Structures are given as structure tokens and as C-alpha cells.
Amino acid sequence: MILLEQIEKANDIKKIDKEKLPELAAEIRAFLIEKISRNGGHLASNLGVVELTIALHRVLNFPEDKLIWDVGHQSYTHKILTGRRDGFDKMRKYGGMSGFPKRKESDCDAFDTGHSSTSISAGLGYVEARDLQKQDYTVVSVIGDGALTGGMAYEALNNAARLEKNFIIVLNDNNMSISENVGGISAYLSNIRTADSYTGLKNGLENTLRQIPVYGDRLIKGIRSTKQGIKQFLVPGMFFEEMGITYLGPVDGHNIAQVTRVLNDAKKVNGAVLVHVITKKGKGYGPAERMPSRFHGAEPFDIETGLPVARKKKAGYTDVFSTVMCKMGAKNPKLVAITAAMPGGTGLKRFRNMYRDRFFDVGIAEGHAVTFAAGLAAGGMKPVVAVYSSFLQRGFDQVIHDVCIQNLPVVFAIDRAGLVGSDGETHQGIFDLSYLSAIPNMCLMAPKNKWELADMLKYAIDYEGPIALRYPRGEAYDGLQEFRAPVVYGKSELLYDECGLALVAVGSMVKTALQVREMLKGIGYSCTIVNGRFVKPVDEEMLQYLAADHSMIVTMEENVKSGGFGEKVLEYYNETGADVQVLQIALPDDYIEHGNVDVLKQETCIDAESIFKRIVARYQA
């Protein structure tokens, strides 16, 4: 790591001879593979942008210039080149370096990101702020071709087309998001990539013109800036140019000299300019090149084989969802499944393979996915939208306006609900109980274990209205198999019936409630446990029953306190005037950083030990 050790702070890369940059790229790849193989993280996406990032850092000056990464999971090389190499040993761990750009972590990170299709909007905001304040710096937004399936990117492009000052958009085109890209934009970019007649002629012509003294570069610039130039005849559509955005490329994203040259050209454009670079996801590591989706968010692995080093895990909640969807697909010909570019992550690959005509991948477009589902439901189908909790937030308006106002029978299968761990603030699924339960006509459930998830999904598919079920990441809890009461609308499940103290838990917190109960029994407390099941509507009949012989009700949820399950229970008791105190166990109304889920539960005091201590302190007071 001879060259890499020379990078101690931002802009140090400019001291390295340009002939040695490919060697530096190789050292960075070796460093990333070694670190991520031990600690996990996003590998394929980062290996694909090593040369692109080096070129950006050769052209830009940090922190004065602003580099905005779309999603941000591919910013590892950027972190290395801004002096954060030592942070990789604790990256994505509690208290350590984030796996995404963070302004509070470095002044070289211009914008916090984590969700897709936002970088052009943020970059455009920076450009306007720069020009209004008469400042002079370069703004670059890097966006992947997968993120271009998101409508927000086009809203920003539409505004950027009116610019008269420089704004560089780098399109990192690797034909992938997390899974293979779908739709018209993917096909359009594929045509550009494979238009050999265009790229060959363009490169040959530019190389020839470049040999002409004085006038060669001017002629090249003239051809590039003319809408009716050579590209207009040889590339169908010229989508970006016709919008008013100068298009440069495509260029080999793994050729540092080529990318550096085109970026320097882009800095001279007065207006928005899109630089189209072609990269290979997983570049330089065979297993990641062959299986980029598997190495998107990699667990620790053996470098030699690429195989995970962890023991094989039990079936997860996603696996249970996948199995039930496939079985229900055979029974119900109207059942359709929708994903926003996450067929693997949401467990819909098997459904896609079995019922291809009833599977829809809409790209990274959650808002569209929700309204599309509403249209399917209005047309007589039974749509299931499988989506991560934090990503459903991007379709909140559509859930209200297009699904719930019309009371359409759309099922929302919400994966990664609650704390998800290493991806941090942008990915924690800790708001869904609050934002969904605020919507009229919405029914909201949370299963205690894998069998209840199966029962709830079957119930939801038969339900005649908007309904959501949320379940956590990871292994599916297989305890409490003996408790499997039928799912009945708005009804909870009484697991242990005693007196004095009652734990009313929803979803993943039922397992924690069992642990708390054992601790309480150990010091002589009797303890009832209720599996809440429904967050909306709350089982008021059960709450009334508990108030008769319990002096304290403890609500437990893996969601923020504000607007959550506990507040609904407290509201009921306040309105009815019941003589019972309510202790709400929930996550703080805050953003929770990255780290191991068990550690995060301890830090936020929703682990069994912390809950036990709070109950004892309050109950004895």
C-alpha cells in the first residue's frame, strides 16, 4: 500500500504522478476487499467507481468543490481519498464511521444521502446557492443509471436544463442498481452503450481533430455543443441534449485519463452538463463481477472463494413472506406482486419466476409503485407492494391520496421494520407505525413470529381495504408456536393472563416481553402478556379488560414514541378515565445512527434489561 499511505488528507492525490494512478486504483481495490471481507459493507458498487472517484478527486478541490453521491453507498473511495482510511476498521459499527456520506463526519461530504434519485436535486440547490452568493466552486452530482428510474431525478433534470452556469452531472452507468435495471431508461442507455457506429466514429473523429494545432479542440467543442451534430444522427432520441443538457460521452469509467479529460471539459460548459461514464460493478474482484447483487451489501466473506464466513442462518421473515406469496399465487389468480427495484431484498424473486406475468418491478420509484398498485386494485386485481419500511416513506402521499381515500384493497408488506443496524439513520424503519396509523382507512398489523406473519399475510390478501403488515430484518422468531389464535380484525392475543402488571407488545417486541416477564417473575411480580397484533385499530376491548385488574400497562414497540402504538393506548385510557398508569417503551423521537441492532437496542433502552429496570423503578414508586 505504498501509494495509498501517501493519502492522508483531501487533495493529497494531486501529488501522485498520473502514471501511477492505475497502481493506486489497484491498491484501493485491495484495501476495500480486505476491509469489507472482514467487516461487511457495500462492495460491488464501490469497486465499480474507484477510477471514477480518483478522476473526480484529481479535477476537484475539497472541501471547496461539492461532490454529491446519489444513495452514497459507493462513497468508500471518496472517504479514503479524504483522509478517512483509518476509519474503515469501525465503519458501520456503533460510534464508528458511517457507510454513507455524512456532513458531520467530514467537510468533504457535501450532502447526507442514503435514498436514491436525490443527488441532482441537491446539487442543483447547491448551484443556485453558489450563484446567488456570487461564490465560485464546482458542483458535481453522481447518479447511477438505476437511480435514473426514479422520477425525482427527472424533476431535477427538468429544472437543471434552464441553468446558465456550470453544473456537472456524472451518470455512472453500470446497468445495475441493486438488481438488474428494468424499463425504458435502461434500454435507452443500453442503446447508447452498444452504439459502436457512434462511439467508434465519434472517438476516431475526435482523435483526428485533436491533432489539428490551435483549432482542433475548438472544433471538438463545436461538434459537442451542436444539437444537430453527429450524435443527433447516430443516437436515437438524444434525450438529454433535447432537454437542454449538454451530453458528453459515453466514456470508459475505468480509464482515469479519459474520465479526467472529459470532466475538465465539463467544467467549461456554461449550463448543466451530463458526463456519461460506463463502469462495471464489482470491477477487479471476480466473485463481485459475477454476482454484483450478492455483493451489494456483503456480509463478511472469504476473499479466496467469495463465500460468506458466517454460519448459515435460519429462515428470515423475508423467506416466510416469499414462501406464502408463492403458495397464495397458486390459489389466487388475481394476486400480483410489486417491487421498487428490490426483487431479491423483498423476497419476490421466487414469485417472479413462478408467475412472471403477475410480477412487476417498477424501478426505484416507490411513489409510482403505490399508485400503480392502486390502479391494479381499482381494476380488480389484488396487489401486494413489498417494500422496505424506510423506502415506503417516499410514497407516503400516494398511500393517502391514491390508496386510502379510495379505500382500495392494496397490501403493503413492509420489510426491515424497526432497527436495521449498519446502514444507519436513512435506513432505520422506525417511523412506519406512526405515519401509517395516522391515515384513515388503513389497517396495520405486526406479527410476533414466523407463523403469525404467514397467517397475517393470508388475512391481508383476503382483506377488502388498505392493509399493511410490518416485520423486521433477520431471522424469523420461531418461539410461541403454541399460540396461534386466528387473525381477527382489530383483535389482540392474550398469551399469559395474570394481574397487577401487563405487558402489551407489538411485533418484534413480543419476544422481548417474554424475557422481561421472566425477570419480573424472578422478583415475585405477576405479569400478563398481550400480543397487540393490530396497531390500527387498537383492541379497545382488551384494553378495557386489562384495566379491571392491572394497575400498570406497559406498551412495547420498535418504533418512535411519537404517534406510535403506546400513544394510542395512552389516549384510550385518558379518554375513558381508567385508573391505570401507562409506561410507554419505544424508541426516542430521534434519528438513530448505524451499529449492531442489539447494541442499538441497549443504547435506546428497548432491550429486556433496560425495560425491566424502568418497570421496577416505576412500579415501586
Q: Are strands 411-415 and 467-470 parallel, antiparallel or unpaired?
A: parallel
Q: Write out the three cell numbers for 255.
A: 480509464
Amino acid identity for residue 469 in this structure: L
Ramachandran category for residue 12: left, alpha or beta (phi over 0 → left; psi -120 to 50 → alpha): alpha
84 is known as an active-site residue: no
221 is known as an active-site residue: no
Burial of 331 (0-12, 13-18, 19+ CB in 10 A): exposed
Distance, in Å, from the CA atom of 4 to the CA atom of 498, rounded to the nearest integer, reads 64
Residue in 241, 366, 452, 493 annotated catalytic: 366
Cβ atoms of 473 and 416 within 8 Å: the answer is yes
Q: What angle do CA 542, 546, 548 make, to 5 degrees?
A: 125
394 is known as an active-site residue: yes
Task: With CA atoms as reference, report the closest residue to 414 among 376, 382, 385.
Answer: 385
Cα dihedral 21, 25, 31, 35 sign: positive
- What are the Cα distances from residue 217, in Å, to 250, 259, 477? 18, 17, 65
Residue in 281, 358, 450, 568 annotated catalytic: 281
- What are the Cα distances from residue 69, in Å, to 110, 151, 580? 9, 17, 51
Is the peptide bond preceding residue 22 cis, with omega within 30 degrees of 0? Answer: no
Q: Write out the three cell numbers for 229.
A: 451534430
Residue in 382, 394, 416, 470 annotated catalytic: 394
Cβ atoms of 206 and 216 within 8 Å: the answer is no
User: Which residues carry out catalysis?
Assistant: 281, 366, 394
